[in-house]
Amino acid sequence: MSLQKWADTPKKPLNGLNEELQAYQQLLSSRIEFINEGHQRRITLHSTLTKEKTHLTKMAETLHEAITAARQSREGAIELQKRLARQQITLDKVPADLKHNLNKILLDPLQKELSKILRRKTWVEEQLTTLDSKQSGEDTTTKQLNNLLGLVNSRLRILEDRNKLRTKYTRPFEKWSDTEKKNLKHSSIRRLEENNSWLEHLLGLFASERGDALTDIIRDYYAAVIQLERKLDNLKQQKKTVDRVSQLAENENAIVEELLKAMQDWTTTIKQEKSLQETRLRMQLLPDKAAEIQRNWEQETGRSIAIPVPFESTKRQQLLDSAINALFATEIKLAAAQKWVDLFKARHSRFGIQSELSVYQGENGNIKAQQKSIQRQLYGYLGFPAATIQEIQAVEGALTPKDIKHLEIGDIGGIRVDRSRIQRKAALWAIGKFIIILAIAILLVEGIEIFIWRRIEKQAQRQIPHLVRGMVSFIIYTVALFMIVAFVFGQTLTGLLATSGVLAMVIGLAVQMNISNIFSGLAINLERPFQIGDNVKLNGINGKIENISWRSTSIRDTMGNLVIIPNHTAAESITTNYTGTEANKGEVWGGFSVFLSGKEDPAEMEALFTEVVNSNETVTTAPWVMYVGFNEWAAEYWVYYLIPYAKRFGVLNDVHTKIRDELTKRGIQ
């Protein structure tokens, strides 16, 4: 806002608006800048005048010395002239320049020049004195303007902060950021947990849809409480800003009062300067009436004024223009000073700072009303203090005990009472479900022990490993635990199942071979494909079963070595049991192939091989001898017989030896 506009509307109230304060700030800044620029110009002028004063002082001293010397020379010449007249000295002793020293004309130019220099020096000193006095006054004014500008800047900053607070106060919840909404939710949950008693925490562990719904409602109430508390804090900060702005406005009022007086004095000084310039111009334009103009001015002002030198005819127009320009500049200064006077009068009037203070007082009233309204809402949520309840009763009359109780505990307290009642019922029902699930798990473990493990032990005639029993019990109790978590505490099993699955996988990988061996041993003991003492071929190993445990099977092979075979390997391999079958009474087939050149009679060879086998007393049944035919290089005969498993190697050696002997006798190869 320009200075002209402010001067044209001196009664326009600021009303604490930022726009007008900013315009006010710009005016003050411009004025201070203008004063500083003038100050710099005066410093330069002061320096120049000081140097000129020093120079004039030196010139005056030099001329004064010259005048003194000239006077002494003239006085000496006068004395010589007197002595010559009294004939005290002769003419030949008189200096040749006696007449020159007696001439007064030589002294007059020096005195005139000295008078001119002294007048110039006096004018310079007056100008320096004027500059010093102006500088002293302007220093005070500049300091006051800087203080005023500082107050305005502070008010602008505070009002800007207050506008930010107001914007934040009025911002609807829909415009909150996602982060702010999440923080509010977390704060409401924390407030809910902080206000719950230990009993409410305990009851909250049990699943209840209605209880959870009421908990969500209470959490929403606490979210509203937190928002209201934040609004109260915001209003408190707004009130601080308004109070601070009011204090700054009062401080401004004191400074404006001083500046108004200074500006009025400045205006009076400019008016006097203008009157002096006008009077001098009139005396220069009317030299015949200069004395009359001088008397009139001195009578009106009580101040003296020297009659200036009239304008020279040759430079009249130029000097007149210069005087008029100076007078016009003074007129501009006077107009500017008057506008500043009008401005500070407006600021100091009841339409200025006083009006702003009224606005700030109104703002404080609005803030207090809003604080009271929000505080009443908080009381409605959290409960009214006893003193407030008494005030309500005084206004609305007697209240019922139920109404008083509701006022004391508030909406949140009432919902918490309902939630506690519902959660107690849910806790009793949850405890019942817990007992039922636990009882079913115990009965199931005991049933498996009685109807499965004991029967298996009786059939297998050995004890079930504790690991198997413990694993089955662990699985049953783990399932019971999951059911308790899901149906008693109402928690989701996703995370628990994921953790249990990972744990089960780790444990399973660590003990999977042992578990496989144990269950394979359990299957072997139930199916009984072989027993201790049986001669078997197991996993490609021929031998006698010496021990069967839940983890492994021990076999003594034909070489007398003890071979330990894991049960899962024994269960998965092909097993041949040579002992204990009723069909062959423990006997097995033994035999071999005989390869001849092919020149022999097949029937004769079959008869020979049959006779040799029958000659062995261990062989009790007819052997099986068969001519197979030719292969790529010989004629093949099969020789097989049924013998006890334990004597198979002796019979095989005896039959081999006898066949070899018979073929050697006959020259057959």
Q: Does any domain span residue 93? A: yes
Q: Does any domain span residue 396? A: no
What residues make up the domain containing 650?
584-669
Which residues, in sequence order, are CB contacts of 543 under 8 Å at separation 6+?
Answer: 535, 536, 555, 556, 557, 558, 563
Virtual CA dihedral for 632, 637, 643, 649, nearest 10 degrees? Answer: -50
Asked if residue 591 and residue 506 are part of one domain, the reply reads no
Q: Does any domain span residue 589? A: yes
8 A C-beta contact, residue 24 and residue 152? yes
d(CA 59, CA 568): 133
8 A C-beta contact, residue 606 and residue 625? yes
Asked if residue 607 and residue 566 are part of one domain, the reply reads no
Q: Does any domain span residue 401? A: no
Surface-to-core class of residue 93, CB atoms within 10 Å of its CB (0-12 exposed, 13-18 middle, 19+ buried): exposed
| Residue 597 burial (CB count, 10 A) | 10
Q: CA quadruple 391, 396, 397, 401: dihedral positive or negative? A: negative
Q: What is the pLDDT of residue 517?
A: 63
* Residue written as token pair 């990972």: 502
List phi, psi (to 5°) of 208: -160, 115
Q: Does any domain span residue 54? A: yes
Tell me the CATH number at 559.
2.30.30.60
Q: Which of 580, 604, 620 finishes a domain?
A: 580
Q: Which of 144, 170, 196 finishes a domain?
A: 170
Q: What is the pLDDT of residue 18?
A: 66
Burial 94-123 (b: 16+ CB within 10 A, else e): eeeeeeebeeeeeeeebeeebeebbebbee
Tell me the three state secondary structure of residue 544: strand
| Low-confidence residues in the chain, pLDDT < 50 | 1-16, 581-584
| Residue 44 burial (CB count, 10 A) | 10
Tell me the CATH number at 650.
3.30.70.100
d(CA 590, CA 642): 6
* Residue written as token pair 């086998």: 613
Asked if residue 664 and residue 534 are part of one domain, the reply reads no
Prediction pTM value? 0.56
Size of the chain, expressed as the number of residues it contains: 669
Which residues, in sequence order, are CB contacts of 236 under 8 Å at separation 6+?
Answer: 371
8 A C-beta contact, residue 518 and residue 567? yes
Which one, of 187, 288, 274, lies nearest residue 230 by Cα?
Answer: 187
Question: HEC states along 469-530?
Answer: HHHHHHHHHHHHHHHHHHHHCCCCCHHHHHHHHHHHHHHHHHHHHHHHHHHHHHHHHHHCCC
Asked if residue 57 and residue 137 are part of one domain, the reply reads yes
Q: What is the pLDDT of residue 443?
A: 93
Token pair, residue 255, equals 């400074």
Q: Does any domain span residue 60? A: yes
Q: Which of 515, 548, 580 finishes a domain?
A: 580
Asked if residue 160 and residue 136 are part of one domain, the reply reads yes
Which residues, in sequence order, are CB contacts of 64 under 8 Å at separation 6+?
Answer: 114
Q: Does any domain span residue 427? A: no
Q: What is the pLDDT of residue 440?
A: 92
Which residues, in sequence order, are CB contacts of 119 under 8 Å at separation 6+?
Answer: none
